[in-house]
A = this chain, B = another copy of it.
C-alpha cells in the first residue's frame, strides 16, 4: 500500500543533507538540521499536509479528519542524528510516517481522526547534553532547569526558539487530543536480521539506569612500590568491569531484555609510571522488567563492598545518576500492529527495545507503540549504519494498515 521508491528518494535526499566529512551527521539545532527540516516540510506540504512548528520545536504535518473531536493519531520519529552516524536512525521513521500520509492521499482515503506526522526535535543527546527534547516537550515533561542549559552562546530555551518553538508556553504543553502514537525505527540490534524477520513489535522500551562508581586507590611510584603494597584503582575497577559483565550476561539469560555496559571509564593520573589512584566509571543498565534492574542495583551495592575489601581501595556507594522505568507498549496497539503485519504479510515477532525512544515519552500521556525494522549487523550510530529500503517500506505498510485500523476503533 506504500511507494517504496518515494521512501528511498526522501531518505537519500536527507542523507545528502549531512556533513560529508562526518557521515551522516545532521545534529539538532545546526544549520544542516534546519536544511533537512526545510526538505521534510516541503515534502509534507507536497503530501497535502498543513505544517507547523509546535511549542517544543517539533515539525508537524497535519491532515484534518472527517469527524472533529475524535482525536489525533500521531505518527513519526526524529530527523536529528548522533555525531558520525544516523543515516536511518530517526529518518526512516519520519519518512515512513510521511509515506503513510502520502499513501492515504494517493488512494483518496479520508480518516475519521485527525492525522499528524511528526519530526520530533533532538531525540539524540544534543549539544545541550539531554535527549528527547521534542517528545518530552510536546507533553510537558521537560524539567524547567533544562531550559537554561548552555551550549556555546545559547541556552536550550534559545535553541528551541531558533528552530521555531515557543519556550514561553513550553512547560505547560499537553496533548489531551492524542488518540494514539506509532513510531517506526531501525532495530539498532542484530535480532531481526539474524532471525530473518521483517518487523519487531516492541513490547516494552527498556528502562535506562545510569550508575556512576568512583574507585579510589593510592597514587604510588610504579617503579619502586612493591606489588604487594599497592592500592591500584585500575586493578580494582578492572575486576568490577569483569564482574558486571558476568552478572549482566547471567541476568540476560532470564526472560526480559537486560544489558549492562561500562561505556565511560576514566583513570587518574593516567601517567605511565604512576599506580592509578582513581577510576570513575559509568554503568549503563537496561531492563525490560523493573525487578531485574532492582536486583542488579542490589547486587552492585554489595559487589563494590567486596571489591573494596579485596583490593584495599575505597569505593563510595554507587550513585544513581539517572533511573527511568521500563515503558510497555499499549497492549491494544500491539494487537493492532500484529494484525497489520498479518495484513501486509510481514514476518514479525514481539521483542523489547533496549534503546530509548521518543515513544517512551509519548506513552506517558497516550496509547503508544513502536515497530522495528531490521538493520545491517545491528549497527547504528556509526557510518556503517544501514537498513534495506524494502524493509523500511514493509514497515511503512504496517504503519499504514495500523493507522487505518486505529481510525476504525
Seen from chain A, the residues whose Cβ lies within 8 Å of a Cβ on chain B are 187-191, 206, 208, 210, 219-229, 232, 234-235, 237-239, 241-242, 245, 248-249, 252, 258-259, 261-267, 270-276, 282, 284, 286, 353-356, 378-382
Contacts and interface: CB of A to CB of B under 8 A. Distances in A.
Contact of A225 (B190, B220, B274): B190
Contacts of A227: 245, 248-249, 252, 258-259
Contacts of A238: 237-239, 241-242
A244 to B, nearest CB: 9
B242 A223 contact: no
A268 B94 CA distance: 31
A242 B242 contact: yes
Contacts of A190: 225-226, 229
Contacts of A224: 187-189, 259, 353-355, 378, 380
Contacts of A354: 221, 223-225
Nearest to A378: B225
A288 B372 CA distance: 60
Contacts of A266: 270
A221 B252 contact: no
Contacts of A219: 381-382
A206 B224 CA distance: 9
Total copies of the chain: 2
A181 to B, nearest CB: 20
Given A189-B226, A259-B226, A263-B276, A221 B381 contact: yes
A261 B229 contact: no
27 contacts: A190-B226, A208-B223, A219-B381, A221-B354, A222-B263, A222-B284, A223-B355, A224-B355, A225-B378, A226-B252, A226-B259, A227-B245, A227-B249, A227-B259, A228-B249, A234-B265, A235-B241, A235-B245, A238-B242, A242-B242, A263-B270, A263-B274, A263-B275, A263-B276, A265-B265, A265-B276, A272-B282
- The interface centre, meaning the residue of A262, A270, A276 with most chain B CB atoms within 10 A of its CB, is A262
Contact of A220 (B258, B265, B378): B378
- The interface centre, meaning the residue of A238, A239, A265, A354 with most chain B CB atoms within 10 A of its CB, is A238
Given A239-B238, A242-B238, A274-B263, A206 B223 contact: yes
Given A271-B264, A272-B284, A378 B189 contact: no
A288 to B, nearest CB: 11
Nearest to A274: B263
Contacts of A265: 234, 265, 267, 270, 276
B262 A273 contact: no
Given A252-B227, A264-B270, A275-B263, A378 B245 contact: no
A221 B275 contact: no
A263 B259 contact: no
A286 B235 contact: no
A220 B382 CA distance: 9
Name the 6 nearest CB pairs between A and B, nearest first: A189-B224, A238-B238, A223-B354, A222-B261, A224-B354, A238-B241
B272 A264 contact: yes
A222 B82 CA distance: 14
